[in-house]
Amino acid sequence: MRILILGGGGFLGQKLARQLILHQTILVRGQESKITAIQLLDQFWPESKVENLILEYTQGNITDQNIMRAALASAPDVIFHLAAIVSGEAEKNFDLGMQVNLHANLSLLDMIRSFGHKPVVVFASTCAAFGGDTSRVIDDYTAPIPQSSYGSQKVMTEVLINDYSRKGFLHGRVLRLPTIVVRPGKANAATSSFVSSIIREPLQGLRANCPVNEDVFVWILSPRAVIHNFIHAAGLTEEQIGQQRIINLPGNTIQIKAMVQAMDELSGTSTSDLIDWLPDPFIQSIVLTWPPFFKTTWADQLGFIKDESVHAIIKGFIEDELKGILPG
């Protein structure tokens, strides 16, 4: 069983590779198989990247058709597509967002079709597919109305994956992700980046800024849970998925103030004193259009998971990224 991870240098790509190595086998469309090779493709790698004999690192951009053609020529059985220009950058640089988040994906799908290998494709989409009235509850039949270029580009790719699956060119599973918290490392250009930074930085004795009001609700999921869900998606059979290949993942709806309160309770100190509350109109113009209330009946039936609580999410970050050690 050969696996290709696009965006393999990102923190989720690295965590996914690590988990696959740990498992050694993977369930794909209901059949368990031994993992023989994992190719990770990205432009950049972390300083301490995952190392293993079955890992193959390819440096490149998904917009480079020669690199992508070579990656697909190896006939991957499963493609985890995590590569994207993140929300804030896609909004500021429309051309770049379109190039990476739409045109490169269209090219990728056409290449998959031309090779004829029919891989399972697990595509990381986003809850930014929705927008408008943020008080409504999003269910499995709510029409996507994205209010950002990033969300729009993701939705267009969703529709393409669904149609290429319908035609039998590949076996698509589109996962609309909640905001992933807590992301390790440094803040990036994603407009949701602050949701992690207001936990990550204070827990390391550093200041962070929250650009939205503390009463704002967010829809979140931990790295642990999303990695589980990526792998779980690959194992689903066509009979289980049917025609409903676009899945809103489960998550937790939580107010910002409840998140920082949970952080204080776990740290045993007023860690949240390190948070500044300076509004950012650009971030608000995007984040405040994302609905935080979801009813994920279909994902629940398919066996996807969410975290027990926000305390469990923060505790997981402390254990996985800080080795259980807090400043002071």
Which residues are designated catalytic?
150
Q: What are 102's two structure tokens?
A: 């739409």
Closest CA to 70 of 115, 120, 10: 115
Cα 50 to Cα 12: distance, rounded to the nearest angstrom: 12
Closest CA to 183 of 196, 192, 195, 194: 196
Q: How far apart are the first and last CA of the chain?
A: 46
What is the three-class DSSP state of 93? coil
Cα 264 to Cα 270: distance, rounded to the nearest angstrom: 5
Edge-to-edge strand ranges of the sheet holding 171-177: 55-59, 37-42, 2-6, 78-81, 120-126, 171-177, 246-248
